[in-house]
Amino acid sequence: MPDARPEPIQIVFLLFPGITQLDFTAPAQALSRMPGATLAGAAATIAPIATDSGFSILPTHDFASCPQADILCVPGGHGVAEALGDAATIDFIARQAAGARSTTSVCTGAFLLGRAGLLAGKRATTHWGYTHLLPLVGAEPVAGRVVEDGNIVTSGGVTSGLDFALTLIARLQGDTVAQAIQLAIEYDPAPPFTGGHPDRTPAAVTAGLKARVYDAAAARMEEALKT
């Protein structure tokens, strides 16, 4: 007998100006290969969205026309600080999360979940440069690339989105499906350097990056969270 048709799964990604494209495209690539999956990218309008990589992406829906998510994913990026003050964006997250089976974030997208009231009392993670700010949205910071607390799944910075996607696929459809997708996209990390997190990176490299980027970026995020 032929296999039963897979259960339809609607996956919705929030899109906003200044998004980190890999926060979106990495988990989208893995999740799109899950049997039954349909992806939507929702923004305030269907105009092109400028990413942090110098190119734009096109939403498939605006907030009003977006279907209800089974899985809601909120990516991060330097544009999060502005998005925190956009009532339509926060309302969209809250409305979609109310009907979703899983609500998820990559990187600083966690703060948008927090602003929508979804992380109060929850264990969560985000990019290492911003973890100390999670209590401002009522979350308990936890070290880890992927942190699950009930139907809330948060992940660390940028490339952690692939780990989150495979974790979620395994939860929904089993390890074999997740492993097949990991193989299909040849996700077999073998970076040229030991590092990628302050715990495993030379202190001078971490200090230099914080001084150039993340001290100011975290201060800007903190100001936006307190507004």
Which tens digit of pLDDT belongs to each residue from 109-134?
999 999 999 999 999 999 999 999 99
- pLDDT classification of 5: cutoffs 50, 70, 90: confident
- pLDDT classification of 3: cutoffs 50, 70, 90: low
3-class state of residue 107 by DSSP: coil
Q: What is the CATH number of the domain that holds 162?
A: 3.40.50.880
- pLDDT classification of 221: cutoffs 50, 70, 90: very high
Per DSSP, which regions of the chain are E strands? Answer: 9-14, 37-43, 49-50, 56-57, 61-62, 71-74, 102-106, 123-124, 140-141, 146-149, 152-155
Chain-wide mean pLDDT for the chain? 96
Two structure tokens written together for 12: 């919705």
Q: Is residue 140 part of a domain?
A: yes
Q: What pLDDT sits at residue 4?
A: 73
- What is the mean predicted confidence (pLDDT) over 10-36? 97
Whether the predicted pLDDT of 224 surpasses 60: yes
- Which amino acid, one-letter code, is at 141? P
The secondary structure element, H or E, covering residue 225 is helix 215-226
- What is the mean predicted confidence (pLDDT) over 144-155? 96
- What is the mean predicted confidence (pLDDT) over 82-100? 98
Q: Is residue 220 part of a domain?
A: no
Q: Are 26 and 162 in contact (CB under 8 A)?
A: yes
- What is the mean predicted confidence (pLDDT) over 93-122? 98
Q: Is residue 224 part of a domain?
A: no
Could you say which of 107, 147, 165, 166 is catalytic?
107
- Tens digits of residue pLDDT in 51-65: 999 999 999 999 999
| Total of domains in the chain | 1
Q: Which domain holds residue 101?
A: 9-192
- What is the mean predicted confidence (pLDDT) over 197-205? 93
Q: Is residue 118 part of a domain?
A: yes
Q: Is residue 204 part of a domain?
A: no
% of the chain at pLDDT higher than 90: 96
Q: Is residue 2 part of a domain?
A: no
Q: What pLDDT sits at residue 1?
A: 43
- pLDDT classification of 15: cutoffs 50, 70, 90: very high
Is 66 considered catalytic here? no
